[in-house]
Structure 1
């Protein structure tokens, strides 16, 4: 492979802001695996956000990208999997598997797609110093005849349209909106773009915690919600606390510690079979490797309000953010029914084509 921009390349990133800023290019924020694609003839390399290769996990995409991208190019985009008209991150995560036979099976059963939204090189020309507006024009031209599963990400300079996307596209499993300055060059691993994500709040039960990796202080709170059958399901964690507060929380929660955890709703977490019928903390995962997943059980008596962006199935997709303790709420009242569910929106309508750029 001999391209003007060679792998590995870390993608340009975005910083969080509360509102959609004016005067920029706007795109949907995709919820998948960020990937930089290098193609030089028959050679195709998929690089992850960290620069590590993803190529072996998506053989069906390698073949599609070799057929739909220009012969020599470097493209920034997102690998996604669609199920029932929505993005499905769980299915995508299953693809990171050590067995090649398993990867091939999943590639046939749940094929991935690639959504392109930036162009870093074309032919012999590096585009890293070229303004976004020109890179976008070149990308649109390069993918003018591309067919699924390769897609050009919709983009617009119309802020009102971006506001509608922010509301509608969530129903298709998208994360929010990304705003990009039109004169922005491509700067790998720098947060020069802006992301606007959905935020909702929920009252959840605190049923345990993990220690911080640096010592005997709190690392994260383990959160639960009651399902229709009255079972407490693990829905995620809340982890962003100042270091002083982490030490204080260990003392505050000490009266609730259950040691041994007999009678705790998640007491069977260490048994692999127990995870088949319920959501428990510490579930075996290809992501966790040798990471210590042990945790301290608490009597599920305290309620906390957290902010979250969206759900992935029956859990928070990302780490929830602490808002406040809710001593006025009974743990039994913390149920899934309180969660706001966005109106469904068919992802096919998002991927149907790129609207006018403004």
Structure 2
């Protein structure tokens, strides 16, 4: 893919920090923005056609025709914009971002793409400007790029939006709490004096991190064929049913082998002593993959760290923290999870 000036730049990235830094922690100060939970998108407009590429340089243009039309209609000059594709659902006053619905937009069938573009239209949140009218802005400080972005998209209308920005850290800390109720997953701090650095982790991000006690209901063997690749986790609902809520992975090679021994006492076996296995959930992303797993008796409790929930499942793969032999599996219920106060996504855009 190319921008009006050449190949599309890789997006600038962010590194995680435990808390929002103050203004004076970075020379030139910081600008704070909501962290939008969607698909990163670099939009290139050459004056006639629109191209959208993902963080990994994959083409996204065909999946979001409604955004392509909006950019072609509203942009008045060639440019390259960095932003996020999001999908908002719910009645006015109660909207929130919906990751599952956004994921469904990546579909191979053109007819299905067209249908979804009408049934669940996406929005684009612009937060940086890399090129404008044939000139690269990447060497200019973020404060100047932001000013040019406001000039370019300050009067944009839905589905195009300009990201909110504040230089007040107290406001940003309030956003971190309030905006989670609309489906956002944190706040990003951007050095106002920094140039755009493709592929570099120049920005700082703060995400929500929480812990929960979960039942280990099974494990998948690592793709190497040795050790535990991932733990399958569950929680009990109000009816007493143990429901799958996600998984934990990213273990070292040595730890993967240790886990096999630690989990052995709970491995389920049939009358002949053979290990009982199950078939995991499939999606279009897991087509052709081995989703089988070793079943475990629901007796082992683990403490894990997570950021947020998507419905009744962990939004992302969680991090294993420690075993909890002091906890009874039956006590691992959904009511231990923190529920963010609902917040209207529409209000986030104001």
TM-score band w.r.t. shorter chain: over 0.9
CA contact (8 A) 1:113 1:149 kept: yes
Partner of 2:163: 153
Instruction: In structure 2, list runs of 5 or more residues that go unmatched.
Output: 24-29
Secondary structure (helix, strand or coil) at the match of 1:253 reads helix
1:166 Cα deviation (Å)? 0.6
- Of 314, 317, 324 in structure 2, the residue corresponding to residue 316 of structure 1 is 314
Task: Give CA deviations for 1:229-288 in whole Å, capped at 9, x if unaligned.
Answer: 2221111111132321111011111121124599xxx97x64xxxxxxxxxxx2221222
1:306 Cα deviation (Å)? 0.8
1:289 Cα deviation (Å)? 3.1
Secondary structure (helix, strand or coil) at the match of 1:301 reads coil
Partner of 1:277: none
1:75 aligns with 2:73: no
CA contact (8 A) 1:3 1:72 kept: no
1:11 Cα deviation (Å)? 1.0
Partner of 1:250: 260
CA contact (8 A) 1:217 1:246 kept: yes
CA distance in 1, matches of 2:146, 2:321: 39
Partner of 1:341: 339
In the superposition, relative to structure 1, how do residues 144 and 314 fare at CA in structure 2: closer, same or farther (>3 Å)? same
1:122 aligns with 2:120: no
CA distance in 2, matches of 1:88, 1:131: 33
CA distance in 2, matches of 1:249, 1:325: 11
Which structure 2 residues correspond to residues 94-243 of structure 1 after superposition, within 5 A? 94-243=104-253
CA distance in 2, matches of 1:190, 1:260: 52
1:71 Cα deviation (Å)? 2.5
Instruction: In structure 1, list runs of 5 or more residues that go unmatched.
Output: 271-281, 353-358
Partner of 2:50: 44
Task: Give CA deviations for 1:170-203 in whole Å, capped at 9, x if unaligned.
Answer: 1100000001111111111111111100111111
Aligned residues: 337
Partner of 1:19: 19
In the superposition, relative to structure 1, how do residues 174 and 240 fare at CA in structure 2: closer, same or farther (>3 Å)? same
Partner of 2:349: 351
1:69 Cα deviation (Å)? 2.7
In the superposition, relative to structure 1, how do residues 295 and 108 fare at CA in structure 2: closer, same or farther (>3 Å)? same
CA distance in 1, matches of 2:174, 2:236: 33
Partner of 1:60: 66
1:329 Cα deviation (Å)? 1.1
CA distance in 2, matches of 1:50, 1:131: 24
1:128 Cα deviation (Å)? 1.4
CA distance in 1, matches of 2:319, 2:338: 17
Task: Give CA deviations for 1:136-170 in whole Å, capped at 9, x if unaligned.
Answer: 10001100111011000001111111011111101
Secondary structure (helix, strand or coil) at the match of 1:299 reads coil
Task: Give CA deviations for 1:325-355 in whole Å, capped at 9, x if unaligned.
Answer: 1111111111111111011110111112xxx
Secondary structure (helix, strand or coil) at the match of 1:290 reads coil
Partner of 1:293: 291
CA distance in 2, matches of 1:289, 1:41: 39
CA contact (8 A) 2:208 2:307 kept: yes
In the superposition, relative to structure 1, how do residues 202 and 62 fare at CA in structure 2: closer, same or farther (>3 Å)? same
In the superposition, relative to structure 1, how do residues 41 and 259 fare at CA in structure 2: closer, same or farther (>3 Å)? farther
1:294 Cα deviation (Å)? 1.7
1:2 Cα deviation (Å)? 7.2
Question: Normalising by the residue count of structure 2, what TM-score does the alignment of the two structures yield?
Answer: 0.92
1:220 Cα deviation (Å)? 1.0
In the superposition, relative to structure 1, how do residues 8 and 260 fare at CA in structure 2: closer, same or farther (>3 Å)? farther
- Of 34, 47, 52 in structure 2, the residue corresponding to residue 28 of structure 1 is 34
Question: Normalising by the residue count of structure 1, what TM-score does the alignment of the two structures yield?
Answer: 0.90
CA contact (8 A) 2:4 2:78 kept: no
